[in-house]
Amino acid sequence: MAIEIVPYGAQWTDAILQLQTHLWSPDVDLNRSYFGWKYLDNPYLQPPRLQLALVGRELIGMRGFWGARWRAGGSGETYDAPCAGDLVVEPSHRSGRVVQRILAAGAADLVSGGLPVALNFSAGARTQLASLLSGWRSAGGLEVAARGAEPPPPSRRDSAGAGVELGIETACRSAEMAGLASEVSRDGRIRHVRDAEWFAWRYRNPLSHYRFVYAWRERSESSGGRRLAGFAVLQGHRRRKPGRMHVADWEAEGPAVFGILLEAALRAGGFEEVTLWATSLADGARRRLAELGFGFVKPAPSLGRALRAGQTRSAVLVRQPGDPARSPAPCFGERPLLDLASWDLRGIYSDHY
């Protein structure tokens, strides 16, 4: 079986949409919307960068890189580093050889595209293993906070949460969310650029549905109106059980407002399960989650153990061009990418959400 790896061309779009019925959805029209949103409308990386595996003229596998822009350090400098995802192989051709050819082509594409590094927040345990064997490096597995369907405990508001007005909407208030993020996100950790353009694009994902919980405060009498004090974004997948929601993103002026947002979401939703990535949370936010009935699930201590147990294990993977054994540890500014403490991690960085 001779495998050829080729870059994306528009002539392959229909074949991609059919191949992705094994991963995205069985609905080709829905896949077309998702592909157009993620790759053709991406504001950070054009033209689309995909590696396509062919046998003859048959498309048997693909992997994509979707554009992302990151900010780190006190200067606010930005870094373009795409995210890898959408790795799929046609079932009759699934083998380590096909996957390794696709991964090797992706590494070569980093060199030809002049990209300093690629990231992956979406790889399952088996893809993580294949990636590590092909030169990717892991910053480590991610802790998850989770709670079931039991009612939240009685409401508790301290003085910091007093005077907050709540609203739950399906509309992304991108400009106001960006304004709040620019005010409170100043600790220098690595986070995605959180401007209005990104919020407006990111929350159009056709495979997901979102619910936005907003917290407002009245402005001073002199300025009038109200200002956004916090938001939390709950995500559900159109193909999965509707009662399972993930807190994909959030921002708040403090842990009290963060807790109020999550409590409002729990009371309004009636969800069977709510999860969020907890690795980057400050102590105050962790305490509030515990008060709301969330438990904290540590990642499996090793990838091998996760594979043996059949567990999913979210992680941060990093790939540099060339030979990683001869390359210094990658950094954005002075923040090393392979140190989880460098990151302000949110589920929305993953293409699962």
Give the pLDDT score at 239.
74
Sheet containing strand 144-147, edge to edge, reads 165-169, 208-218, 226-237, 244-252, 273-277, 144-147, 295-297
Residue 176 has which token pair?
Answer: 């106001």
278 has a pLDDT exceeding 90: yes
Q: What is the helix, strand, coil percentage profile of the chain, to 5? A: 35, 30, 35
Give the pLDDT score at 225.
81
Q: What is the mean pLDDT of the chain?
A: 90
160 has a pLDDT exceeding 90: no
Q: Are 314 and 343 in contact (CB under 8 A)?
A: no
**Separation CA 6–CA 83 (nearest Å):** 19
Does 329 or 176 have the greater pLDDT score? 176
Question: 103 vs 13, 128, 270, 301, CA distance in Å?
Answer: 20, 11, 41, 25
| Beta strand segments in the chain, E | 4-7, 49-55, 58-66, 69-72, 77-80, 83-89, 118-120, 137-141, 144-147, 165-169, 191-192, 208-218, 226-237, 244-252, 273-277, 295-297, 315-319, 331-332, 335-336
Q: Are 249 and 347 in contact (CB under 8 A)?
A: yes
**Separation CA 351–CA 39 (nearest Å):** 12
Q: Are 125 and 313 in contact (CB under 8 A)?
A: yes
* Over residues 181-193, mean pLDDT: 89
**Separation CA 174–CA 351 (nearest Å):** 19
* Count of alpha carbons within 13 angstroms of residue 19, beta-carbon side: 23
**Separation CA 88–CA 214 (nearest Å):** 37
Question: 99 vs 91, 95, 234, CA distance in Å?
Answer: 12, 7, 33
| Residue in this structure with the two tokens 């939390």, named with its chain if needed | 232
* Count of alpha carbons within 13 angstroms of residue 100, beta-carbon side: 9
Which residues in 170-201 are b (16+ Cβ under 10 Å) and which e? eebbbebbbebbeeeeeebbbbbbbbbebbbb
Q: State pLDDT tens for residues 209-238.
A: 999 999 999 876 666 688 999 999 999 988
23 has a pLDDT exceeding 80: yes
**Separation CA 311–CA 222 (nearest Å):** 55
Q: State pLDDT tens for residues 90-126.
A: 999 987 789 999 999 988 888 778 888 999 999 988 8
Confidence band (pLDDT; 50, 70, 90) for 157?
low
Closest CA to 172 of 193, 201, 194: 201
Closest CA to 265 of 283, 248, 278: 248
Give the pLDDT score at 159.
55
338 has a pLDDT exceeding 60: yes
